[in-house]
């Protein structure tokens, strides 16, 4: 039993659907019937108990101990206290430090070897900033906490994997942000982690252009000619399998996707619109380049669904399964 990897799951924004999704982990189906990992949820224990009672969820909440064996209907919990009681759908900035404490505890456990990976339920960026805490997202927060100079956000679902050269930037800032240095760093991280986390010895990466029609030979923009292509040519010279720059409007067609193992989009909506259309509800977010394994759901806090019992746990289940597979591949088990 102790050979099983331990996966920490943070329950996210307490007013959102994260806590009730975490409760559903106790009923998560196990392939073949044997547990592949031990799960531990980081949350306020009474919050979970209240949400379980309100939704009629039958679950046993058990204090986490490294000696705990996985049991059906039992959820292991590391208690982190809320600042104030939380109600479904009602944001409270006073609980924003609690949300970050969940992340800090999971991260500390991953770095110490207590946990093999962390999986994150959604947080609400707005209310964290309302509390006076500058926060742009899990990806950037974990990068700062681990002193990682560059991380890459990738969303995955089914056989589709889409990484981003830039993440949460206003659209007007994107062209200036895509420099040769940034693009090279992102491609090196993506290439390396497609091997470490997904097992591709020689990953094929489809690279989008920035402009319509990938610049149309310079008539619709010169970033492809002056920035993207020179970087791709240089890294191809080192043996990387890079295809592009490709027009983004045709890159996500089945014949094109069949030529690659993952996609690199230049900005958030260019890549994630297609990914979420194809996989929403069962896609996940993976942070590449970190010294730890981190996966996440690909949706938000869904305040309007909180407390209704209608939230789909599919993305969280997939994020957990992917974290387990990555931990096993990395030898953390």
- Check residue 30 and give its pLDDT: 54
Establish if 37 belongs to a structural domain: yes
Structure tokens given for 127? 């209310």
Establish if 285 belongs to a structural domain: no
- 59 and 169 inside one domain: no
Closest to 117 measured CA to CA, from 310, 290, 305, 299: 290
- 11 and 91 inside one domain: yes
- 34 and 174 inside one domain: no
Alpha helix ranges (H) inside the chain: 18-23, 45-55, 96-112, 125-130, 138-145, 174-177, 180-196, 223, 229-236, 248-251, 254-257, 268-279, 314-330
Establish if 64 belongs to a structural domain: yes
| pTM score | 0.90
Establish if 259 belongs to a structural domain: yes
Establish if 173 belongs to a structural domain: yes
Domain boundary (242, 259, 279) is at: 279
Q: For strand 60-63 and strand 74-79, is the pairing parallel, antiparallel, or unpaired?
A: parallel
- 124 and 161 inside one domain: no
- Check residue 1 and give its pLDDT: 52
How far is the C-alpha of 261 from the C-alpha of 259, rounded, in Å?
7
Q: Name the residue range of residue 234's domain.
A: 151-279
Which helix (H) or strand (E) segment is 206 a member of?
Answer: strand 204-208
- 233 and 305 inside one domain: no
Structure tokens given for 206? 């489809």
Radius of gyration of the CA atoms of the chain, in A: 20
pLDDT tens sequence for the chain (333 residues): 567 899 999 999 999 999 999 999 998 765 545 568 999 999 999 999 999 999 999 999 999 999 898 888 999 999 999 999 999 999 999 999 999 999 999 999 999 999 999 999 999 999 999 999 999 889 889 999 999 999 999 999 888 999 999 988 899 999 999 999 999 999 999 999 999 999 999 999 999 999 999 999 999 999 999 999 999 999 999 999 999 999 999 999 999 999 999 999 999 999 999 988 888 778 899 999 999 999 999 889 999 999 999 999 999 999 999 999 999 888 743
Q: Which residues contact 13 (CB under 8 A, 6 or more apart)?
A: 91, 99, 121, 122, 123, 124, 127, 301
- 58 and 103 inside one domain: yes
Domain boundary (234, 259, 279) is at: 279
- 82 and 132 inside one domain: yes
- Check residue 332 and give its pLDDT: 44
- Check residue 331 and give its pLDDT: 73
- 210 and 303 inside one domain: no
Establish if 284 belongs to a structural domain: no
Closest to 261 measured CA to CA, from 206, 209, 197, 195: 206
- Check residue 145 and give its pLDDT: 96
Structure tokens given for 246? 């490709």
How far is the C-alpha of 299 from the C-alpha of 282, rounded, in Å?
10
Closest to 79 measured CA to CA, from 65, 56, 57, 63: 63
- 100 and 190 inside one domain: no
Number of structural domains found in the chain: 2
Q: What is the CATH number of the domain that holds 172?
A: 3.40.718.10
Structure tokens given for 6? 């331990």
- 28 and 125 inside one domain: yes
Structure tokens given for 212? 């319509």
Establish if 59 belongs to a structural domain: yes
- Check residue 312 and give its pLDDT: 92
How far is the C-alpha of 95 from the C-alpha of 19, rounded, in Å?
14
Establish if 162 belongs to a structural domain: yes
How far is the C-alpha of 258 from the C-alpha of 135, rounded, in Å?
37
- 157 and 141 inside one domain: no
Are the C-beta atoms of residues 98 and 61 closer than 8 Å to each other? no
- 168 and 240 inside one domain: yes
């Amino acid at each position: 039993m102790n050979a099983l990897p331990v996966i920490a799951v943070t329950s996210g924004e307490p007013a959102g659907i994260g806590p009730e999704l975490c409760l559903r982990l106790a009923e998560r189906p196990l392939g073949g019937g044997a547990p592949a990992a031990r799960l531990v949820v980081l949350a306020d224990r009474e919050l979970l108990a209240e949400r379980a009672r309100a939704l009629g969820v039958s679950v046993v909440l058990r204090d986490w101990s490294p000696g705990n064996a996985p049991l059906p209907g039992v959820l292991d919990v590391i208690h982190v206290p809320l600042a104030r009681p939380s109600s479904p759908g009602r944001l409270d900035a006073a609980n924003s430090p609690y949300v970050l404490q969940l992340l800090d505890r999971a991260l500390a456990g991953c770095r110490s070897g207590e946990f093999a990976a962390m999986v994150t339920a959604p947080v609400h960026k707005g209310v964290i900033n309302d509390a006076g805490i500058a926060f742009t997202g899990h990806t950037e927060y974990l990068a700062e906490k681990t002193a990682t100079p560059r991380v890459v956000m990738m969303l995955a679902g089914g056989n589709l994997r889409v990484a981003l050269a830039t993440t949460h930037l206003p659209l007007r800032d994107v062209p200036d942000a895509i420099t040769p240095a940034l693009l090279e760093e992102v491609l090196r991280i993506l290439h390396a982690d497609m091997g470490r986390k997904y097992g591709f010895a020689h990953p094929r990466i489809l690279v989008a252009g920035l402009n319509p029609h990938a610049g149309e030979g310079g008539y619709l923009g010169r970033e492809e000619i002056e920035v993207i292509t020179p970087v791709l040519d240089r890294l191809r010279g080192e043996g990387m399998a890079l295809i592009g720059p490709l027009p983004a409007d045709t890159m996500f067609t089945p014949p094109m996707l069949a030529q690659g193992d993952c996609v690199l989009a230049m900005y958030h909506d260019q890549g994630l619109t297609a990914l979420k259309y194809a996989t929403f509800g069962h896609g996940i977010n993976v942070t590449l380049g970190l010294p730890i394994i981190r996966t996440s759901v690909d949706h938000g806090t869904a305040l309007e669904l909180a407390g209704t019992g209608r939230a789909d746990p599919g993305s969280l289940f997939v994020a957990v399964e992917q974290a387990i597979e990555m931990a096993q591949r990395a030898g953390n088990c």
